[in-house]
Each structure stands twice: as structure tokens, then as C-alpha cells.
Amino acid sequence: MTAFAAVPEDRARIDLWTLVDAGLLYVVIAVSSDMLVQLGPVQSLVWLMCYGLALLRMVLTWPYFLAVVGRNRLVLAYPLACLASVLWSYDRGETVVSGLQLGMTMAIGTYLGWRYSLNALLKVLAVVLSGAVILSMLHWATGAFPWPVYTRAGGLAGLFSHKNMLGLRATFAIVAIMAIWLMRPAEAGRLVRFLLVPAMAASVVVLALSQAMTAVLLTPVLAGLLFLLCVRRVPPVAALAALGGGVIALAVGPVLLAILGIDPVEAVLDAVGKSATLTGRTYLWEIAGEVSAGHPFLGVGYGAFWESGAFLNERIATQHAGATTSRSFHNFVLEILVAAGWPALLAMMALILATARRLLRLHAASGSAGAAGALVLLVGCVVASLVGTSLYRGHELMIVLLTAFFVSSDEDLRALA
């Protein structure tokens, strides 16, 4: 008879919590990317589950987690500034709810950044977003899911509610996969690299099908930036192939644009809008400027503008300007200024700059492809959010990534010391 040794209780407990943390990371990346947005209340229930698991883990590890928060206390500034606006908010209930959602999102990002290295974060990001891309392709090919394949404005939406959401997720998947390919063999094995080849192909196809010109034009810029940061890691053959591919693209690109009937000037405008008004964005920004001018320092309360009856006329004006599919000014700087004023904006800018500084230090010290990939994704988050609807509220992928990158880069730097 074969005898099986009992698993030590401590080891079993460690393995269990390792599995819980890994599951939390995958689920948070998935739900914050809005993969579940078409499922309605299911997305909210998943967020509640994430809240519960994250709070449980924070409590169980509280002495260590509090030390992490202390080392990264800058991450507290933005949510606290937003929550403080409840004192003068035009809708205190909305400010409290939105502020708590933001605080929990950033707390979860802090925990995940502490638990996982930048390399691990990028790998999970690549896997989750590749899954979203492949499922979106399946929906495009078969109409498998009970919601529209395309948006009303045209372009593939896939699992998401808008083509721009799908396009940016495909862009981030491409950057994350490229970063993994640039990692050392010990950091990412051949099998992992090989399995990501079809994911990369699917991401490129979905990016084109989405017709999200912001993402389409941002992708080569981010890919080129990553290439420059990691040029020493690129094999000579691959560098030559990339150079040749660039030359071919420059030669064939105009022909393809002509065949597809794409006006490059219009394409550039489409990246931020389709006219001199940037598809109504300039009107939205004018409205935001007027509201901010009326409350020049502290704002109207976090989340209050979009709920309070005091701004009903202004909200109607935003709808006429084009804010029909999402309640946003399509610019995170103006959104923060209107919501919680200069204290919150300065806190957010400080967090972005501090994250970039840490990533640059880590890349300079170690040549880490993970640090380079995270830095490029940070640039993508900021640029996309200047004409988009991200980087200012809770339950957002970009907020999760910003917070996790900030904390994880510090942990990686400490490991090098």
C-alpha cells in the first residue's frame, strides 16, 4: 500500500492564500477592464467579492500591509482629497459612495502591487486582456453573445460597450506581450513566449476591427517607445526585422490607406475626434472650464456634477455636446478639477510623476523589461485619459495599474538594494 505524507498545515495555508491572491489579481484585472460590463449587475457583484477578499487579506496581513502603505503613503493623497470634498459637495451621498469606491480600488491596487512584481503584473495583464481580445474575436465571428457586435458609430465592440474600450485593451495587450517577449529567458520561458504569439496576432486584428483611432495611432508610438527603452535586449535579427518592417510599412502604408479609403488626416483627427471640435470634446471642455471657474479651487464635490440637480442645465449641455454614451468631460484633468479641485489634481499628478520616477529608476538600475513595459503603459494611460474617460474614478483599470505599478516598482527597487 502506498503511503501519502500529510501536507503540513502551514504549507497548506500558505498555498491556499497564494491561490486566493492570484485569483484576486486575475479577477480585479478582468473586472476593472470592463470585460463584464455587458453582464450588468454581475459586474457589481464581482466587485463586491473583490472588496471582501481584499479586505480579508489586508486584515490578515495588516502589520505588513500597513508598513507598505506607510512607504507608499502618497497613494492616499488623491482618494483623501476626493473624499474631503464631501464637506462642500453639492451631492454628499454621491461623493461618499464614489470616494469610497475610489479608495477601495486604490487600496486593492496597493495590495496587489505589494504582492506581485512588475513582471507578474504584466504577465497577468497580458493573459486577461488577451482573453478579452480572443472572446471579442469569437463574438465578431459568430455573434455568440446576446449583445451587439458593433457600436452604433461603427467598429467592433466585442465584450465591451464601446469600440474605444476594446481598442485600448488591445493596445495594452500588445504592449504587455511585447514586454514579456523582451524579458530574460529566466523571467519568461520559451513556451510562454510561443503561446503569446496567437494572442498578439488576435490583438492586432481586433485593434484594426475596433476602428478606435486613438488606440490605433497610440499603439505604434507605445511600441516604438518600448523598443527604444529595451533596444539592448532586442536580438540583432529581430532589430533588423523591425527596421525592415518599418521600411515596408512606410512604403506599403499609403497604398493600403488608399485601398481602404482612409484619409490619414481624418484618421489623426479621429484619434481625438472627427472635427475641429474634436467630436464635441472642445464643447465639453468649455463647459468644464465654466463650472471649474465658478468653483476655482475646491471643485463642486467628487462625483457631484453628474448627479446634483444644481448642474442639470450644464449636464443637458454636455449631452448636446456629445457626452451621451458616458458621463464624462473626456479629459481626466478637467474632470478632477471640476470634481475636487486643485488639491485632488495635484495629488494625482504627484502620483503619476512619482510612479514614472520609480519606474525609470528601476529600469536604469536593472534594465528591467517589466519596468519599461509598465512605464510605457503609464504613458498610454495618461495620453488616452487626456481625451478619454479614465484615470480619475474608482473601478477603473488605469487606476488599478497606476497604483499597482507605483507600489510594485518600490518593492522591486527594495529587492535590488
User: What pLDDT, on a 0 to 100 scale, did the predictor assign at position 181?
Assistant: 94
CA distance 143 to 120: 33
341: left (phi over 0), alpha (psi -120 to 50) or beta: left
Distances (CA, A) of 27 to 20, 46, 124, 152: 10, 8, 10, 29
The grid coordinates listed for 150 are 458593433
How distant is the alpha carbon of residue 323 from its chain centre? 21
Summarize pLDDT for 99-140 with one digit per residue, the tens. 999 999 999 999 999 999 999 999 999 999 999 999 999 999
% of the chain with per-residue pLDDT over 70: 84
Question: If residue 27 lies in a helix (H) or strand (E), which one and from where to where?
Answer: helix 9-32
The grid coordinates listed for 313 are 442645465
* Secondary structure tally for the chain: helices H, strands E: 16, 0
Confidence grade of residue 397 (pLDDT, cut at 50, 70, 90): very high
Summarize pLDDT for 310-333 with one digit per residue, the tens. 888 888 888 776 655 568 888 999
Amino acid at 98: S
328: left (phi over 0), alpha (psi -120 to 50) or beta: beta
- The angle, 0 to 180 degrees and rounded to 10, between the axes of the packed helices 163-181 and 118-142 is 130
Q: Please check the confidence at residue 270 and state whether its pLDDT lies above 90.
A: no
CA distance 392 to 413: 27
HSE-CB for 409 with a 13 A CA cutoff: 31
Contact indicator for 335, 304 with CB cutoff of 8 Å: no
SS3 state at 156: strand
**Torsion sign over Cα 257, 261, 265, 267:** negative
Span between the terminal Cα atoms of the chain, in Å: 51
Confidence grade of residue 6 (pLDDT, cut at 50, 70, 90): very low
Average pLDDT over residues 141-158: 88
CA distance 333 to 403: 18
SS3 state at 173: helix
Q: Please check the confidence at residue 45 and state whether its pLDDT lies above 50.
A: yes
The mean pLDDT of the chain is 88
Query: Per DSSP, what are the bridge partners of residue 156?
Result: 150
Q: What is the pTM of this model?
A: 0.89
Summarize pLDDT for 336-350 with one digit per residue, the tens. 999 999 999 999 999
Question: If residue 36 lies in a helix (H) or strand (E), which one and from where to where?
Answer: none
Question: If residue 75 lies in a helix (H) or strand (E), which one and from where to where?
Answer: none
Least confident of 119-128, 136-145, 257-266, 282-291: 257-266
Hunting for cell 454628499 — which residue is that?
92
**Torsion sign over Cα 348, 350, 351, 357:** positive
CA distance 172 to 404: 15
User: What pLDDT, on a 0 to 100 scale, did the predictor assign at position 364?
Assistant: 93
